Structure 1
Amino acid sequence: MCLGGQCEHNVNPLTNASEGRQESAGGLDRRRLLAAAATGAAALTLAPVSFARAQAATAPPKGATGPGEVTRTVTGHLETGAADFVYLPVEVPKGVQKIAVEYSYDRPSVPAGTPGNSCDIGVFDQHGTKLGGKGFRGWSGGFRTSFEISASEATPGYLPGPVQAGTWNIVLGPYQVAPQGMNYQVKITLTFGAAGAAFVPTYPPRRAKGRGRTWYRGDGHLHTVHSDGKRLPSEVAAGARAAGLDYMISTDHNTSSSHAVWGEYAGDDLLIITGEEITTRNGHWLAWGLPAGEWIDWRYRSRDGDFHRFAQQVHRAGGLVVPAHPYCPYVACQWKFGYDDADAVEVWNGPWTYDDESAVDTWDARLGEAVRTGGRWLPAVGDSDAHSEPQVIGLPHNVVYADDLTTGAITSGLRAGRTWIAESASVGLAFTAGGNGRQAGIGETLTTPAAAPVDVRLEVQGVPNGTVRLITDEGQMHQESLPASGTGTVVWRTTSSLAAYVRAEVRHPMADGNPGHGNTMGPVLQWGPMAALTNPVFLKRA
C-alpha cells in the first residue's frame, strides 16, 4: 500500500456481498474485511483506505499527485442482494483542507421489466456512521457523481466545515442491482493546506409579516439542487411567490444543507420553513418545521423498528411527521410504516393521478375508523413535490387557518386539520356546517341534538363547470354542478344522527374524449381531476 510514495494507490477488490468474502485483484495480495455497519438497515463495511500524513499543514505531502493533493481509487463489485448501504472507511490524516469524491458504476443491459443498476452516494465524517448520530456530512443520492467538502464551502447536499482527522465513511446506496451485479469505482482526493474561512449559514426567520388570524397558502414539498431538484433555492422561492403562496417548506431528500441558505430568500411576504424528505427503503416521509440545521436519518426499513425513534425526534422539535405519496409506484416509495406516529398524510402529490385517488380513499376509510373507535384522525394535505420545470410549484398546496404567519402557527394549523387543499391560488373555497345556533369550520366539531337540522354550506370560486361532492361516513351524499363562471354556493341539509362528518371535493369536468369509468352509481363518472379537497367538519350528537 503506497503511503506517501510516488504512486496513486489503486485497490481493486472483488466484493461478493451475499457470501461476505473479498478476493484481491490486480496483483495486490491484500485482504479487505467485510463487516456489519452500525446502522438500522442491512449494511456492509469495507476495509479502510489510508492516506499519507502531510508533512505540514500548509505543505503538499511527499508524493502528491497534484499541488497538495493525494488520490486513492477503489473499485469493486456488488452482487444482487447487496446490503442497503456499503461503507468505505477513509483514514483522513491531519492537515487536510478539502475532501473530494467521484464515483461511477456500470449499467449493463437487463431484460425488459428488470431493474438496472442504481446507486446513491453520501458521506459521514470522523464522528461515525451511528444511526441518528453526529457524523452526517451530506447526501446527494444518485443525482451527482461527485462532491467536495471544505471549511468554507461544499457541494449542494453536503455540509461545509473543517475536514478533521479521523475515519470518514463514504456511503454507497445500491438500491437497485442488476442480475449481473454492479461494478463500481470511487476516487477520493484529499487536498492539504490551511482550512480557510468558516462557512456562515443564513437560516430563514421563523416569522414573516402575516395578516393575523386568517387563511395562509403554502406548499409543503419542494426540492432544490441540494437534493435531486434542478431549481436553485432562489428559483424555488421566486416560484412560490409567483404561485401566490404565503409560505413554503424546504424538503430536500435526506439532507439539511439547504437550510443554511434560505435566509437570503425569505422575506416579509414569504415564510420559509425548514424541513426534510426522509427517503427510506419502505416509503418517504416529510419532516415539517425542523429547527434550522437539524437532520433526520433515513437508513432503516419498517422491520427495523426505528421509524418511531425518528418521528419522536421531529415531535420533540415541535415539527410534524407526514407520510408522502403513500401509493407512489416507484421503488421504495410505497408507505409501509403505518400511521401511529403521523400527524397528517399527503393524499395529493403533484398533478392528480390514480395514486392520489387511492390515497384519498384510504384516508377517508381511516376517517370512518376514527369516528367508530373515537380515535385520532389524520388531516389530509397536498403538495406539489416540484423538482424542476415543467413541474408547477403550488400544484397543489395547502390553505391553512393559522393565528399568524409563523412556523409555529402554520404547523399548529396543519396539525389541527384546519386546512384544505387547492389546485392553485385561483381556487377559493369556504366550507362550514351550522345548526342549533352554532357553526363549525374545517377541522372543527359541531355538536347538535341528534335530529336537529344541520346545513352544510360550500362556497367555491375558480372551478368552471366543476362538480361538488359532499361525502360523509356513509359515502357521497350530495353532488351538484357549478356554472361556467366557476363560482357557486352549494347547501345540503343533514343531521348529526345521519352523518359523523362531512367533507367536500370539487372536481374538474371530465376532459373531452375521456368520459371516465363507470361505477355502481352509473355508467360514467360525473367528475374528473381534483380542484379542491377539504378536511372534514365533524358532527357530534349532543
Structure 2
Amino acid sequence: MAGAAALTLFPVSFAQAADGTSGGTPAAGTEATRTITGFLETGAADFVHLPVEVPRGVQKIAVSYSYDKPAVPAGTPGNACDVGVFDERGTALGGRGFRGWSGGSRSSFEISNSDATPGYLPGPVNAGTWNVVLGPYQVAPQGMHYQVQVTLTYGEPGPDYVKHYPPQRAKGRGRDWYRGDCHLHTVYSDGKRLPAEVASGARAAGLDFMVSTDHNTPASHAVWGRYAGPDLLIITGEEVTTRNGHWLALGIPAGEWIDWRYRSRDDALGRFSRQVHRGGGLVVPAHMYCAYVACQWKFGFDDADATEVWTGPWTYDDEHAVSTWDQKLGEAVRAGRRWLPAMGNSDAHSDPQVIGLPHNVVLADDLATDSLMEGIRAGRNWIAESSSVELTFTASGHGRQAGIGERLGVPADAPVDVRLDVRGVPGGTVRFITDEGQMHQESVDASGSGTVVWRTTASLAAYVRAEVRHPMPDGTPGQGNTMGAALMFGPMAALTNPVFLDATPPSRG
C-alpha cells in the first residue's frame, strides 16, 4: 500500500480441512486454528501484515494476539503493539478491505456476519486472503516477540447484522446556539464507557449534540440510533490516529471509514481531507501538543477546517495550543487568507473524565448535522467549560453589529464598542485580545455575572476575541505583560472565536 511502511509476511493457509484430510468443507461448528509467531527488531515497519488464506464455508474468524514486554531503562519506550484486520478485498490505503481496528485496547476479537467485537465490522467471512495487521507502536531495544492465533469456525453465515444509524436532525429551536462535545470515545475503541453511558453523560452535561469519534473505526456508528432522540443529536465521526498526530473527521456519513496509515511525509492527508469534505464533514487537528507518542501534530493546517485548542481539563498543552492558534489568526489577517476557527472538546474516554469539559456552543440554523458543521466551519462558535457558563460577545459601531465569527465593516477610525456579557464564572477575569495582543482585562464579581465593554477602532484592531479565566489559586485575577502575553492566568472558563473589524473606505460626500 502507499503510505506508511508495511511488512508483509508469508501467508498462513487453512486450505486443508480441520481433520487433516483434503476434501469438502468441514461440518458446521468445526474449528481450525493456526498460530503465527515472530520477532520484530527496533525500528520495525509501522505495520506488519499477516496474510491468512480463508477457505469457503467459514462462519466466523477469531483472532487473539500477545507480545512480550521486557523491562526497559527509565525513559525508554517499551513494547506496545496495535492490532486490526482487513478482509479479502485487500489492504490498499483507503480501500474497501477494512474490517476493524482495536489498537492496543483488546487482545482478541471475532467477526461473523451477525456480530463482531466492538471496533470491528460485522459481515460475511468470505474466502480469500485476509490480513491480520499488527501496528508495532513502540518496540523496546530488545525487540518484540509476538504470537498471533487465528481460529476459523465453519458453518452457515447467519442473519445479517442490523444497523441502527442515528438520524441527522433532532428537535431544535431554529436558529440558535447549540452545545456539543465533538470528541468522545467508547468501548468501540479505547474508551471504557458503553455508548448508552456516553449518550447519558452528554444529556447530563446539558448538551444538545455530540460527535462519536472512536479511533480509526466507524464500528460504533451502527449503534448510535438506539441512543439518539429529539433531545440529543448524535453525529458520526472518527478520530484518525496517524503516527504524526491525530485529527477528527466530524460529520462524516454513517459507516464511512477514514484511513490513518500514513505520515506527514507521505503527502496523503489531502486525499483523506477531500474524502471527509465530500461527505460534508470537517477536518480538525486534535490536541496538537499532547505529549503522548505520535500525538503531536506535524501536518500543518492547510487541510484543516478548524483546530482543537482546548482538550479536557485546562493544562499547559492547551495554553500552548491557544497561543499557536492566535499566531495563525494574526498571520491569516496580515496575508488576507482564510482563518482557522477554534474548537474545544473533552476527549473523554472513561471515568473520571467529564463529558462536556469543555464543549462548543455553536450558532446554527437548526439542530442538524449539516447546520452545525457549517456553523463550526464558519467559526460561529465559542468554547465553554460547562453548561453553567453563558456568554454573548459582540462588536458594534457605525450603526452595525457583528457577533462571533462575523465581520464588522466600519470606517477605520469610527469607534467600535466590544461587549461581553458573562454568567457562571465567579471572580472571573475577562481578557480582550486582538492581533496586537491583550488590550483589555477586567474582572467580574463573586456572583460570576458581569458585562465588560471596551472601545477600539478598526485601525487599531483587525479582530477581537475574548477569554474568560478563573481566578488564580490565591484568588487573584492573573496578569499579562505589556505585550499581551500571558505570564500567569487561571484556568480557562470560556474562549471565543474572533469578531473581525474591517476598515471600510470613507464615504464620498
- Tell me the TM-score range normalised by the shorter chain: over 0.9
Cα deviation, residue 148, structure 1: 0.1
Distance of 2:426 and 2:452 partners within structure 1: 14
Distance of 1:513 and 1:467 partners within structure 2: 11
Give the structure 1 partner of residue 393 of structure 2. 431
Closer, same or farther in 2 for the Cα pair 1:194/1:275, shift >3 Å?
A: same
Aligned AA (1:46): L
Matched, 1:250 2:212: yes
State whether residues 467 and 526 of structure 1, in contact with CA within 8 Å, keep that contact through their aligned partners in structure 2. Answer: no
Distance of 1:523 and 1:431 partners within structure 2: 22
3-state SS of paired residue (2:168): coil
Matched, 1:269 2:231: yes
State whether residues 203 and 262 of structure 1, in contact with CA within 8 Å, keep that contact through their aligned partners in structure 2. Answer: yes
Matched, 1:50 2:18: no
State whether residues 56 and 95 of structure 1, in contact with CA within 8 Å, keep that contact through their aligned partners in structure 2. Answer: no
Cα deviation, residue 143, structure 1: 0.1
Matched, 1:232 2:194: yes
Farther-moved stretch of structure 1 (38-47 vs 457-466):
38-47
Cα deviation, residue 39, structure 1: 3.7
Matched, 1:386 2:348: yes
Distance of 2:416 and 2:231 partners within structure 1: 39
Distance of 2:490 and 2:87 partners within structure 1: 51
| Residue among 396, 415, 424 paired with 1:462 | 424
Matched, 1:59 2:27: yes
Give the structure 1 partner of residue 442 of structure 2. 480
| Residue among 86, 89, 100 paired with 1:124 | 86
State whether residues 41 and 142 of structure 2, in contact with CA within 8 Å, keep that contact through their aligned partners in structure 1. Answer: yes
Distance of 1:321 and 1:524 partners within structure 2: 29
| Residue among 274, 280, 296 paired with 1:318 | 280
Give the structure 1 partner of residue 181 of structure 2. 219
Aligned AA (1:426): S
Q: For residues 467-525 of structure 1, what are the alpha-carbon distances to aligned partners after superposition, in whole Å with 9 as ceiling and x for unaligned?
A: 00000000000000110000000000000000000000000001139997985679995
| Residue among 250, 272, 297 paired with 1:335 | 297
State whether residues 86 and 100 of structure 2, in contact with CA within 8 Å, keep that contact through their aligned partners in structure 1. Answer: yes
Aligned AA (1:330): Y
Distance of 1:515 and 1:497 partners within structure 2: 29
Give the structure 2 partner of residue 190 of structure 1. 152
Aligned AA (2:228): A
Distance of 1:131 and 1:507 partners within structure 2: 44
Farther-moved stretch of structure 1 (504-513 vs 426-435):
504-513
Matched, 1:494 2:456: yes
Residue pairs, 1:21-420, within 5 angstroms: 38-54=1-17, 59=27, 67-420=29-382
Cα deviation, residue 232, structure 1: 0.2
Give the structure 2 partner of residue 4 of structure 1. none
Aligned AA (2:160): A
Give the structure 2 partner of residue 506 of structure 1. 468
Distance of 1:159 and 1:332 partners within structure 2: 26
Distance of 2:163 and 2:385 partners within structure 1: 34
Distance of 1:237 and 1:211 partners within structure 2: 20
Aligned AA (1:42): A
Cα deviation, residue 53, structure 1: 4.8
Structure 1: stretches of 5+ with no match in the other structure: 1-37, 61-66
Distance of 1:120 and 1:343 partners within structure 2: 29
Distance of 2:321 and 2:213 partners within structure 1: 21
3-state SS of paired residue (1:533): strand
State whether residues 97 and 151 of structure 1, in contact with CA within 8 Å, keep that contact through their aligned partners in structure 2. Answer: yes
3-state SS of paired residue (1:361): helix
State whether residues 471 and 478 of structure 2, in contact with CA within 8 Å, keep that contact through their aligned partners in structure 1. Answer: no
3-state SS of paired residue (1:408): helix
For normalisation by structure 2, the TM-score amounts to: 0.96
Aligned AA (2:469): R
Aligned AA (2:220): S
Closer, same or farther in 2 for the Cα pair 1:515/1:471, shift >3 Å?
A: closer
State whether residues 384 and 493 of structure 2, in contact with CA within 8 Å, keep that contact through their aligned partners in structure 1. Answer: yes
The count of aligned residue pairs is 499
State whether residues 439 and 484 of structure 2, in contact with CA within 8 Å, keep that contact through their aligned partners in structure 1. Answer: no
Percent of residue pairs identical? 77
Closer, same or farther in 2 for the Cα pair 1:518/1:426, shift >3 Å?
A: closer
Distance of 1:126 and 1:187 partners within structure 2: 18
Q: For residues 179-204 of structure 1, what are the alpha-carbon distances to aligned partners after superposition, in whole Å with 9 as ceiling and x for unaligned?
A: 00000000000000111111010000
Give the structure 1 partner of residue 20 of structure 2. none
State whether residues 53 and 94 of structure 1, in contact with CA within 8 Å, keep that contact through their aligned partners in structure 2. Answer: no
3-state SS of paired residue (2:395): strand
Cα deviation, residue 234, structure 1: 0.4
3-state SS of paired residue (2:48): strand
Aligned AA (1:343): D
Distance of 1:433 and 1:457 partners within structure 2: 6
Structure 2: stretches of 5+ with no match in the other structure: 18-22, 505-509
Distance of 1:529 and 1:248 partners within structure 2: 24
Distance of 2:366 and 2:477 partners within structure 1: 43
Distance of 1:512 and 1:157 partners within structure 2: 46
Cα deviation, residue 401, structure 1: 0.1
Closer, same or farther in 2 for the Cα pair 1:180/1:513, shift >3 Å?
A: farther
Cα deviation, residue 526, structure 1: 6.0
Aligned AA (2:27): A
CA RMSD across the alignment: 1.6
Cα deviation, residue 329, structure 1: 1.1
Distance of 1:513 and 1:525 partners within structure 2: 16
Give the structure 2 partner of residue 5 of structure 1. none
Give the structure 2 partner of residue 6 of structure 1. none
Closer, same or farther in 2 for the Cα pair 1:211/1:182, shift >3 Å?
A: same
State whether residues 477 and 489 of structure 2, in contact with CA within 8 Å, keep that contact through their aligned partners in structure 1. Answer: no
Q: For residues 384-407 of structure 1, what are the alpha-carbon distances to aligned partners after superposition, in whole Å with 9 as ceiling and x for unaligned?
A: 000000000000000000000000
Aligned AA (1:437): G
Q: For residues 45-79 of structure 1, what are the alpha-carbon distances to aligned partners after superposition, in whole Å with 9 as ceiling and x for unaligned?
A: 0000000355555715xxxxxx5100000111000
Distance of 2:310 and 2:412 partners within structure 1: 34
Distance of 2:484 and 2:48 partners within structure 1: 54
3-state SS of paired residue (1:112): coil
Closer, same or farther in 2 for the Cα pair 1:484/1:247, shift >3 Å?
A: same
Matched, 1:421 2:383: yes
Q: For residues 247-271 of structure 1, what are the alpha-carbon distances to aligned partners after superposition, in whole Å with 9 as ceiling and x for unaligned?
A: 0000000000000000000000000
Closer, same or farther in 2 for the Cα pair 1:515/1:434, shift >3 Å?
A: closer
